[in-house]
Structure 1
Amino acid sequence: MKKLSISLFALFASLTTFAQDFQGMAVYESKTSTADFKTRMDGNKDITPEMRKMIEERMKKMFEKTFILNFDKTASIYKEEEKLDAPGQDRGGFRMMSSMMGGGGTYYKNVKEKTFTVDKEFMGKEFLVADSLPKLNWKLENETKKIGDYTCFKATAVKPVDASDMRNYREKKKKEGEEKKPSTNFMDDYEMPKEITITAWYTPEVPINQGPEGYWGLPGLILEVNDGKTVVMCSKLVMNTKDKVEIKAPKNGKQVKQKEYDEIVTKKLEEMREQFQSQGGRGGMQIRMSR
């Protein structure tokens, strides 16, 4: 992670001292562990050094991202930093995978109304997921650490997973005495847990009830989140930004609740898995969303 650099025009003691048009900006670096994927490649003799290099480059783009959080006193938008596409890149497939890996689209949350809206693309179809913000039962700890110039406090919570977020997949653990059988389907070795433990670090020095992605609900801006596989850490923070950004919810796409979107994604992934198995682990998959 980059060392946190802080640019402050003012340091406020409480929310009441914020100007009416107050706005801040935070940059977050997100990195998802790929150790299990690389271990699997190590045992595959069919993967040439050239193929491995190409796969690792694509994995880096999917699993290492930069996001911008623009926030005011009550609302925020969280969006992946725009980067130039490589020549010849398949944007359709990349956008879909990026969305399922926590990227793409605009994540809007309003902590006053306790709602969120995020636009996503899946299988060539645009969705607008709008729902109530999930409330985590945060446990505030006494442990502290410095992130940049800020003193941060630790908080933990157990969170139900979003089944549509592939970052939540975990490698299956072998039962005692169980032999691991080789599989032609990569996803047979992984499973989606029902819940995961979240560790967050927040700073009361920035008394904003905000954070990256869908995280909120702590007495200070969340500067770091760790779910055991993905770490999201603030690398830059600017308070009272001069250039204001319009903080509003996205509007494009078919509106669905989070549960409905999760069901759509998991159903299509299961279809892909079955088709992959029927082809003996070879060939492409031609699954389209119904309109």
Structure 2
Amino acid sequence: MLRLIVLLVLFVIKSVSAQDFQGVAIYSSDRKMDIQLDSTRVNSEMQNQIQEMMRKQFQKEYTLRFNTNESVYKEEQTLNPTPSAPGVRIMVAGSQSSDILYKNSKEKNYAAKREMFGKAFLVKDALTSYDWKLEDETKKIGNYTCYKATATRTVQTQRSVSINSEENTSEPKTEEVTIVAWYTPEIPVSSGPSTYWGLPGLIMEVSDGNARILCNKIVLNPKKKIAISAPEKGKVVTEDKFEEIMEKKIKEMQDRVPRGGENSFQIRVRG
């Protein structure tokens, strides 16, 4: 309890004295993959290729530009192409990924620009309220002392694998996932990578199920003032409406694309 009070006081003091506080944080993401294909239909070499493709889908770099109350999270373009295999297509369903994600911790809302099959959407909704539990454990990330926080969320997972014309879709499963975040009060902003926020300091690392995001570099108060603004272009929808449209479009695409051939695969991951 005493540590919580000290952290909150430290955060408030730094926030009051940092009205023009700005910074840039660079994050990298990764994810453990657990897709197992039928060994009687997919040889070990193809299995390895597919696993590598899926792993690369989640190995990305992001930039978070932030001030005291606002932030913009954006995926950086890479020159390294994702490996591919003939006849294999991987679809990752979920609302976590955005071209541009603007968060406002003071107003507790966000605006996310997302592209889906060539059409731009602007998702506007309230930020997720994480019920964070502040822990006593600490560790260093770079030069910053970080504190541990945990929360839980309920997710629905599903795997769909099509080989040639045969489809094997797992039943949707609802499970509780523990989120582990590491934040530093030394950077007095209640923000972090992706949709994570709500802690008394910048979130430097987060593990959420099989996914992990880690901060690799921070620049505080750069000489050139950072412009932070919400995206404005795209069809405005809520998060639930976007999910509904996405599910419908993916099903339409699956129905339109013919399946067949010796190495024809479609793998869809949700959750």
Over 3 Å counting, the alpha-carbon distance change for 1:254 and 1:73 in structure 2 is same
* TM-score with structure 2 setting the length: 0.76
Query: Residues 71 and 104 of structure 2 are in contact (CA less than 8 Å); yes or no, is this contact kept in structure 1?
Result: yes
**153, 157, 167: which one pairs with 1:185?**
167
Deviations 1:135-193 (A, max 9, x none): 111111112222222221111112344xxxxxx73669xxxxxxxxxx9435x136353
**237, 240, 243: which one pairs with 1:262?**
243
> Residue 67 in 1 paired to residue 62 in 2?
yes
- 3-state SS in 2 of match to 1:193: strand
> Residue 27 in 1 paired to residue 26 in 2?
yes
Over 3 Å counting, the alpha-carbon distance change for 1:97 and 1:69 in structure 2 is farther
> Residue 169 in 1 paired to residue 165 in 2?
no
> Residue 224 in 1 paired to residue 186 in 2?
no
Over 3 Å counting, the alpha-carbon distance change for 1:233 and 1:284 in structure 2 is closer
Provide the rounded CA distance (Å) in 1 between the counterparts of 2:13 and 2:176.
Answer: 36
Provide the rounded CA distance (Å) in 1 between the counterparts of 2:127 and 2:236.
Answer: 16
More strand by share: 2
Q: How does 1:41-120 map to 2 (within 5 A)?
A: 41=37, 43=39, 45-47=41-43, 49=45, 51-52=46-47, 54-84=49-79, 86=81, 100=94, 102-120=96-114
Aligned letter for 1:255? V
Query: Residues 32 and 55 of structure 2 are in contact (CA less than 8 Å); yes or no, is this contact kept in structure 1?
Result: no
- 3-state SS in 1 of match to 2:54: helix
Provide the rounded CA distance (Å) in 1 between the counterparts of 2:182 and 2:175.
Answer: 23
Over 3 Å counting, the alpha-carbon distance change for 1:29 and 1:284 in structure 2 is closer
Over 3 Å counting, the alpha-carbon distance change for 1:263 and 1:245 in structure 2 is same
Query: Residues 66 and 80 of structure 1 are in contact (CA less than 8 Å); yes or no, is this contact kept in structure 2?
Result: yes
Over 3 Å counting, the alpha-carbon distance change for 1:53 and 1:228 in structure 2 is closer
More helix by share: 1
Q: Which residue of 2 aligns with 1:4?
A: none
Aligned letter for 2:199? L
Aligned letter for 2:56? K
- 3-state SS in 1 of match to 2:60: strand
Over 3 Å counting, the alpha-carbon distance change for 1:258 and 1:195 in structure 2 is farther
Over 3 Å counting, the alpha-carbon distance change for 1:265 and 1:193 in structure 2 is farther
Over 3 Å counting, the alpha-carbon distance change for 1:147 and 1:17 in structure 2 is same
Unaligned ranges ≥5, structure 1 = 1-11, 162-167, 173-182, 286-291
Aligned letter for 1:74? N
Aligned letter for 2:142? G
Q: Which residue of 2 aligns with 1:205?
A: 186
Aligned letter for 1:123? F
> Residue 135 in 1 paired to residue 123 in 2?
no
Unaligned ranges ≥5, structure 2 = 1-11, 267-271
- 3-state SS in 1 of match to 2:223: coil
Q: Percent identity?
A: 41
Over 3 Å counting, the alpha-carbon distance change for 1:284 and 1:145 in structure 2 is closer
Aligned letter for 1:236? K
Q: Which moved more, 1:51-60 or 1:193-202?
A: 51-60
Over 3 Å counting, the alpha-carbon distance change for 1:262 and 1:275 in structure 2 is same
- 3-state SS in 1 of match to 2:24: strand
Provide the rounded CA distance (Å) in 1 between the counterparts of 2:92 and 2:255.
Answer: 22
Over 3 Å counting, the alpha-carbon distance change for 1:184 and 1:264 in structure 2 is same
Q: Which residue of 1 aligns with 2:119?
A: 125
Structure 1 residue 61 displacement after superposition: 3.1
Deviations 1:221-271 (A, max 9, x none): 111111121011111111112233321111111100011111222233455
Provide the rounded CA distance (Å) in 2 between the counterparts of 1:254 and 1:130.
Answer: 10
Provide the rounded CA distance (Å) in 1 between the counterparts of 2:178 and 2:140.
Answer: 22
CA-based RMSD: 3.7
